[in-house]
Chain A
Amino acid sequence: MPDTHFYRYDDYDRALVSERVAQFRDQVRRRLAGELTEEQFKPLRLTNGLYLQLHAYMLRIAIPYGTLSTRQLRQLAAIARKYDRGYGHFTTRQNLQLNWIKLEGAPDALAMLAEVDMHAIQTSGNLIRNVTADHFAGAAIDEIEDPRIWCEIVRQWSTLHPEFSFLPRKFKIAITGSPNDRAAVRVHDVGLRLWRNEAGETGFEVIVGGGLGRTPMIGKTIREFLPKDDLLAYLEATLRVYNRYGRRDNLYKSRIKILVHEIGPEKMREDVEAEYAAMKDSALKLTPETIEAIARQFAPPALRSKRTKVPEVEALKLENRAFALWLKSNVAPHRVPGHAIVTASLKPAGAPPGDASSAQMEGVADIADAWSQGEVRVSHEQNLVLPHVAIEALPEVYRALERLGFAEANVGKITDIIACPGLDYCALANARSIPVAQRISTHFAELSRQHDIGDLKIKISGCINACGHHHVGHIGILGVDKNGVELYQISLGGDVDFGKTALGTILGPAVEADKVVEAVDALVATYLEARQADERFVDTYRRIGAQPFKERVYGAV
């Protein structure tokens, strides 16, 4: 199926990516021949997304705004099979990491990526990283506008931007086009939220200085409403202020969130607005033609309204409880009647969260070709999304996903855990994440129980860098190392829902690795005893506070 519903590279994009592959091939050759030292080579490989982790090199592949064609997904599967160990890890940045890549094979892997208009540029370094978006973009019933149009505009502007290639620190931008934030925009360096004002115009709320990591912060709104055609001017102004005043003397204080915190949002707004005023009518102003040209590439697929009540679906719901639960948790409403958005859960009980084998990736591509207009999305919650599925096809899609092991009815539930790679892979980690997630997921595997518990987001990080977003988990789990022993710090009450964004509060002393499941069990039991009506875990926590949870957990462990 052709890539018809999102951006296709033009000659300029292709030339740029091909040149980078050729350059990197030569750089690798020189490194292997001993002509370059590791000190000289390291920044070159990182610029191409190639990290050296505990056991092997890791290639971080950019998936712009989490959107993939089936051709691209099949190519990722082929690369994983040929140059890695036949599987990959989808990340909280909507990217794919291959954890066993060899340096000598990396240029060929990048060449294969270039064949399908992909690359690994800007997945490392102190520059503007891959822009993330709502994974339901272009399909969500609550969407005001497709944010990917703006993501693509930002991608083109930021790619190899000469002024912003050596920022004080990395810079992450997320964009949502819906009032329900599925892109966690308040915890990004810049978060952009499209909304419609009273005059009926759409524009951006600009949120600056959010982030997780060592010093978690919720972003501050520095502009309530930005006309869309001024997006690049305003971003350029923001980056310019950060580039000038952001700290370069202290790695831990170098993100824009620290700058905003230190000077205050008012001063930040003042400085950005002054820069913006000086450049808003410059070449950065987006013309209607430019916007339209990009928007055309994201034209929605021509879906016709269909019946929303399908007898076969209703019948299967009655006879297959797992399917009925799956409809509740993994299927979301679509903007076109008679269609749905399906989330393929990459969290079957006991599996490493976010991992998919090459065969599974190919299976998802086959399903997307047959029933989802050839489109797949990667969610920041480490699942894959089929954005355009007819309701009448849901039974077949369910069975196909079941064969892949991706039909677990657990999206948004306690086993839909976000986990970073942790100490099993990562050179920065202090403790393991994946085995902890596996134990929790195995313990709570029973689907009826999960649905009884309801929406509950567990997020696990293996170090303070917070790649597993533990600060914004309803239950956050942070692995720490204390004198060579892995301990896990539990926090409660984090959230990324719009209007409720909150950072979790540490519950008490960290618990030992083999007590984590017990602790989570105690938290859940406390919630189930105290919840009222349809309260989610986090709602009950907000109502009754930490004390009952604390007493139960520390009584239990």
Chain B
Amino acid sequence: MAKNLSGELHVASANRLRDGMVVFLDEAGEWTTRLDRAAVARDERSAEILLARAQAEAFGVVDSFLVAVAESNDGTLEPLSLREKIRASGLTFDAIAAEAVRYA
């Protein structure tokens, strides 16, 4: 069954092929690591078109899909689900500092 796309804003996301980084499709049809530059679909029809564009721009990315987002008054986008928040913003804890501990 197709996903219900009504009532939500969406951006298109994928993982970049060469390094796996999370990317979003911008208005120009380029993949960017910046969520604030992502093209936003504001209705169901636009979301379908955005997904089709993302799938057509598949070279260099893996598994494109739509992410439901919220937009604040100042235009900041934030994914609705925790999973997508983590994908967009990174770890929710401080990873071990790679060289913080040096063996004397």
Task: Note all chain A residues with C-beta closer than 8 A to B21.
Answer: 55-56
Minimum distance in angstroms from A130 CB to a CB of chain B: 23
B4-12, B24-32, B38-46, B76-84 - the one binding chain A: B76-84
| Chain A interface residue bracket vs B | 35 or more
Please pick, from A32, A80, A102, A424, the residue contacting B93 in the complex, using a CB distance under 8 A: A424
- Give CA–CA (A389, B92) in the complex, Å: 38
Q: Which of B63-104 contact A (CB under 8 A)?
A: 63, 80-83, 86-87, 90-93, 95-104
Which of B81, B86, B93 has most chain A Cβ within 10 Å? Answer: B93
Which of A31, A38, A101, A362 has most chain B Cβ within 10 Å? Answer: A38
Closest to B22 in A: A55
Contact bitstring B53-68, A, C-beta under 8 A = 1, else 0: 0000001001100000
Minimum distance in angstroms from B37 CB to a CB of chain A: 18
- Give CA–CA (A362, B103) in the complex, Å: 8
Decide yes or no whether A104 CB sits under 8 A from chain B.
yes
Asked whether A424 and B92 contact (CB < 8 A) given A357-B98, A357-B99, A484-B82, the answer is yes
Task: Note all chain B residues with C-beta closer than 8 A to A435.
Answer: 92-93
Q: Which of A36-82 contact B (CB under 8 A)?
A: 38, 52-57, 80-81
Decide yes or no whether A284 CB sits under 8 A from chain B.
no
Which of A80, A362, A424, A438 has most chain B Cβ within 10 Å? Answer: A424
| Chain B interface residue bracket vs A | 20 to 34
Which of B19, B21, B87 has most chain A Cβ within 10 Å? Answer: B19
Contact A102 B19 (CB under 8 A): yes
A9-17, A152-160, A348-356 - the one binding chain B: A348-356
Contact B93 A405 (CB under 8 A): no
Decide yes or no whether A87 CB sits under 8 A from chain B.
yes
Asked whether A352 and B19 contact (CB < 8 A) given A38-B63, A359-B101, the answer is no
- Give CA–CA (A355, B82) in the complex, Å: 23
Minimum distance in angstroms from B70 CB to a CB of chain A: 12
Minimum distance in angstroms from A120 CB to a CB of chain B: 16
- Give CA–CA (A187, B12) in the complex, Å: 41
Task: Note all chain B residues with C-beta closer than 8 A to A87.
Answer: 95-96, 98
Task: Note all chain B residues with C-beta closer than 8 A to A338.
Answer: none
Contact A55 B87 (CB under 8 A): yes
Contact B98 A85 (CB under 8 A): yes
Minimum distance in angstroms from B16 CB to a CB of chain A: 9
Asked whether A355 and B20 contact (CB < 8 A) given A423-B82, A486-B82, the answer is no
- Give CA–CA (A366, B103) in the complex, Å: 9
Contact B102 A432 (CB under 8 A): no
Task: Note all chain B residues with C-beta closer than 8 A to A403.
Answer: 101, 103-104
Contact A31 B96 (CB under 8 A): no
- Give CA–CA (A438, B95) in the complex, Å: 11
Contact bitstring A364-385, B, C-beta under 8 A = 1, else 0: 0010000000000000000000
Minimum distance in angstroms from A368 CB to a CB of chain B: 12
Decide yes or no whether B3 CB sits under 8 A from chain A.
no
Contact B20 A53 (CB under 8 A): yes
Decide yes or no whether B49 CB sits under 8 A from chain A.
no
Contact A32 B18 (CB under 8 A): yes
Q: Which of A260-317 contact B (CB under 8 A)?
A: none
Minimum distance in angstroms from B64 CB to a CB of chain A: 11
Contact A57 B93 (CB under 8 A): no
Task: Note all chain A residues with C-beta closer than 8 A to B86.
Answer: 54-55, 423-424
Minimum distance in angstroms from B13 CB to a CB of chain A: 11
- Give CA–CA (A478, B23) in the complex, Å: 30
- Give CA–CA (A54, B81) in the complex, Å: 13
Task: Note all chain A residues with C-beta closer than 8 A to B95.
Answer: 85, 87, 352, 355
Task: Note all chain A residues with C-beta closer than 8 A to B15.
Answer: 52, 55-56
Decide yes or no whether B17 CB sits under 8 A from chain A.
yes
Contact A358 B82 (CB under 8 A): no
Contact B19 A38 (CB under 8 A): no
Contact A52 B93 (CB under 8 A): no
Task: Note all chain A residues with C-beta closer than 8 A to B103.
Answer: 359-360, 362-363, 366, 400, 403-404
Asked whether A55 and B20 contact (CB < 8 A) given A38-B62, A404-B103, the answer is yes
Contact A358 B99 (CB under 8 A): yes
Task: Note all chain B residues with C-beta closer than 8 A to A104.
Answer: 18-19
Decide yes or no whether A103 CB sits under 8 A from chain B.
yes
Contact B81 A352 (CB under 8 A): no
Task: Note all chain B residues with C-beta closer than 8 A to A174.
Answer: none
- Give CA–CA (A321, B5) in the complex, Å: 61
Contact A55 B90 (CB under 8 A): yes
Contact B91 A424 (CB under 8 A): yes
Q: Which of A428-474 contact B (CB under 8 A)?
A: 432, 434-435, 438
Task: Note all chain B residues with C-beta closer than 8 A to A438.
Answer: 93
Contact B96 A351 (CB under 8 A): yes
Contact A352 B83 (CB under 8 A): no
Task: Note all chain B residues with C-beta closer than 8 A to A333.
Answer: none
- Give CA–CA (A500, B98) in the complex, Å: 40
Which of A86, A358, A400, A486 has most chain B Cβ within 10 Å? Answer: A86
Which of B21, B91, B92 has most chain A Cβ within 10 Å? Answer: B91
Task: Note all chain A residues with C-beta closer than 8 A to B20.
Answer: 52-53, 55-57, 101-103
Can you pick out 28 interface pairs between chain A and chain B where the beta carbons lie within 8 Å of each other?
Answer: A52-B20, A54-B87, A55-B20, A55-B21, A55-B90, A80-B98, A85-B98, A86-B98, A103-B18, A103-B20, A357-B96, A357-B100, A357-B101, A358-B99, A359-B101, A359-B102, A366-B103, A403-B101, A403-B104, A423-B82, A423-B83, A423-B86, A424-B92, A432-B92, A435-B92, A435-B93, A438-B93, A484-B81
Additional A-B contact list (4), CB under 8 Å, known A55-B87, A102-B18, A104-B18: A38-B63, A55-B90, A358-B98, A400-B103
* 6 closest residue pairs by CB, A with B: A86-B98, A363-B103, A56-B20, A102-B19, A57-B20, A355-B96
Binding site for B on A (CB under 8 A): 31-32, 34, 38, 52-57, 80-81, 85-87, 101-104, 351-352, 355-360, 362-363, 366, 400, 403-405, 423-425, 432, 434-435, 438, 481, 484, 486
